[in-house]
């Protein structure tokens, strides 16, 4: 096989058509999701909000996101993946139009909170649908492509947002709404409901059953199952630490660069380098990580994140920041496929979206903790803040090494038949 064809087969080949339509919907959605990136600037320049008030409104959006991931997970397991995706996208488009024409800050705050809810609802449904339709041996590739599409879309969104914001804030919201409707059209036209495939693993009455001495005892699992799954929660906790590390890029690093005398353009260069590396290199990641145990890969990736951010304690120039960005970006690239795959492995089929919603809670939580504690740490500890961040990352890397083997045993147990029937006696 030609090397290019082999690379394509390893990176993207053999995936079902439904996955590609989901991928296209995600890419369009992320490429058009730029209005909220400029919400603070819009509030300050167009609506005359103070810095504190603008921060409160953006905080309302974040709080809505935390509620949205849980709601999206529950609905995706009850309504279905396709229905949840369509409802969330259509609601987002309508709320964006409402934001475009709202003038009162109270109304804008309320709409921003609702946008936070519906913006976060699709995440569990997207991932659950991918798990539903992609065979297990190709999921690493699928999740890698999902991460790539997300970052490519965000890179496009960042570019378009700046151009539209200079022309018109009204256009910013309306084009965002139009892109969201386009994503909804792709999903509505080409993506079938995938929940039925997940339910096929259940018993005929729609619930998992346990074998208890020849009698079937129905279980009614729900969101509480994910919230009490210790193996899963350990994994979510380690993911939260990873999210806190990656959030340093958008929350604390700009302040550190400013203290070092580096302006916004320098910060933009560092961010652009990370995005470029992901867009150019992410498709090659599965070939690097698939032959290794997932816990080991996550330990290595978290170590790279720790080293990259820890190195900022000694950085004071743009080249030093760029070199550190290469290290932590490679770490985040390596983490994406195994992180998503472990999440899928730990989730029972009938609770896939609920497990995804609990997993995604780590990110809004990190978006609150990282700036709240990081700002205090940087103010009072200075460059030692980055040493603390690096030490936290190394502890999480050790946690992945310790949690990996028992988690693999737990996954193997989950894959065993749930309803073993007595083996009939052999005829004599």
Structure tokens at 19: 């996955």
Q: Are both 326 and 369 inside the same structural domain?
A: yes
Q: Are both 174 and 27 inside the same structural domain?
A: yes
Position 297 pLDDT exceeds 60: yes
Domain that holds residue 70: 17-137+164-199
* Structure confidence at residue 341 as a pLDDT band (50, 70, 90): confident
Structure tokens at 408: 């693999």
The reply to whether 159 falls in a domain is no
95 burial level (CB within 10 Å; 0-12, 13-18, 19+): buried
Each residue's pLDDT tens digit, 260-290: 888 767 877 887 788 888 888 888 888 888 7
Each residue's pLDDT tens digit, 121-163: 998 899 889 989 998 888 888 888 888 888 788 777 766 766 7
Q: Are both 253 and 119 inside the same structural domain?
A: no
C-alpha distances (whole Å) from 383 to each of 241, 247, 253, 338 are: 20, 17, 11, 32
Cβ–Cβ < 8 Å for 69, 357: yes
Residue 58's domain is classified under what CATH number? 1.20.1250.20
Distance CA 195, CA 376 (A): 45
Q: Please, which residues bridge with residue 217 across strands?
A: 210
Each residue's pLDDT tens digit, 3-46: 545 555 555 567 899 999 999 998 888 877 777 777 776 787 78
Q: Are both 169 and 241 inside the same structural domain?
A: no
Can you give the pLDDT at residue 11?
56
Find how far residue 66's CA is from the centre of its chain.
Answer: 12
Half-sphere exposure of 183 (CA within 13 A, CB side): 32
The candidate with the shortest Cα–Cα distance to 275, out of 151, 413, 107, 179, is: 151
The reply to whether 216 falls in a domain is no
Each residue's pLDDT tens digit, 351-405: 888 888 888 888 878 877 887 788 788 888 889 999 999 999 999 999 999 999 9
The reply to whether 209 falls in a domain is no
What global pTM score does this model have? 0.72
Q: Are both 357 and 302 inside the same structural domain?
A: yes
The reply to whether 284 falls in a domain is yes
The reply to whether 335 falls in a domain is yes
Position 244 pLDDT exceeds 50: yes
Q: Are both 251 and 371 inside the same structural domain?
A: yes
Count of domains observed in the chain:
2
């Amino acid at each position: 096989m030609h090397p290019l064809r082999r690379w394509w087969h390893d990176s993207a080949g053999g995936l079902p058509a439904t996955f590609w339509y989901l991928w296209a919907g995600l890419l369009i959605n992320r490429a058009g999701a730029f209005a909220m990136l400029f919400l603070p600037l819009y509030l300050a320049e167009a609506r005359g909000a103070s810095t504190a008030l603008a921060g409160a409104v953006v905080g309302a959006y974040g709080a809505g996101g935390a509620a949205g991931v849980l709601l999206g997970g529950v609905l995706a397991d009850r309504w279905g993946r396709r229905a949840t995706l369509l409802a969330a996208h259509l609601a987002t488009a309508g709320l964006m139009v409402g934001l475009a024409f709202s003038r009162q800050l109270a109304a804008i705050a309320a709409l921003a909170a609702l946008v936070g809810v519906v913006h976060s609802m699709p995440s569990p449904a997207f991932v659950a649908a991918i798990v539903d339709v992609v065979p297990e041996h190709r999921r690493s590739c699928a999740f890698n492509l999902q991460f790539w599409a997300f970052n490519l879309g965000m890179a496009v969104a960042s570019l378009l947002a700046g151009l539209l914001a200079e022309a018109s804030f009204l256009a910013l919201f309306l084009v965002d709404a139009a892109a969201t409707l386009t994503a909804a059209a792709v999903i509505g036209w080409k993506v079938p409901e995938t929940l039925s495939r997940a339910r096929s693993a259940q018993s005929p009455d729609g619930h998992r059953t346990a074998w208890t001495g020849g009698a079937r005892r129905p279980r009614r699992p729900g969101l509480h199952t994910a919230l009490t799954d210790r193996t899963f929660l350990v994994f979510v906790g380690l993911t939260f630490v990873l999210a806190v590390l990656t959030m340093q890029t958008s929350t604390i690093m700009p302040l550190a660069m400013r203290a070092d005398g580096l302006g916004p353009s320098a910060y933009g260069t560092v961010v652009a380098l990370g995005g470029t590396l992901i867009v150019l290199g992410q498709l090659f990641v599965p070939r690097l990580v698939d032959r290794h145990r997932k816990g080991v890969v996550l330990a290595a990736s978290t170590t790279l994140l720790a080293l990259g951010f820890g190195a900022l304690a000694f950085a004071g120039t743009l080249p030093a920041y760029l070199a550190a960005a290469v290290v932590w970006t490679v770490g985040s690239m390596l983490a994406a496929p195994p992180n998503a795959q472990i999440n899928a492995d730990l989730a029972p089929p009938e609770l896939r979206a609920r497990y995804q919603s609990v997993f995604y809670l780590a990110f809004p939580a990190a978006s609150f903790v990282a700036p709240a504690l990081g700002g205090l740490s940087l103010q009072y500890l200075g460059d030692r803040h980055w040493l603390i961040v690096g030490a936290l990352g190394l502890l999480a890397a050790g946690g992945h090494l310790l949690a990996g083997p028992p988690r693999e045993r737990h996954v193997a147990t989950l894959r065993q038949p749930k309803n073993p029937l007595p083996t009939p006696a052999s005829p004599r």
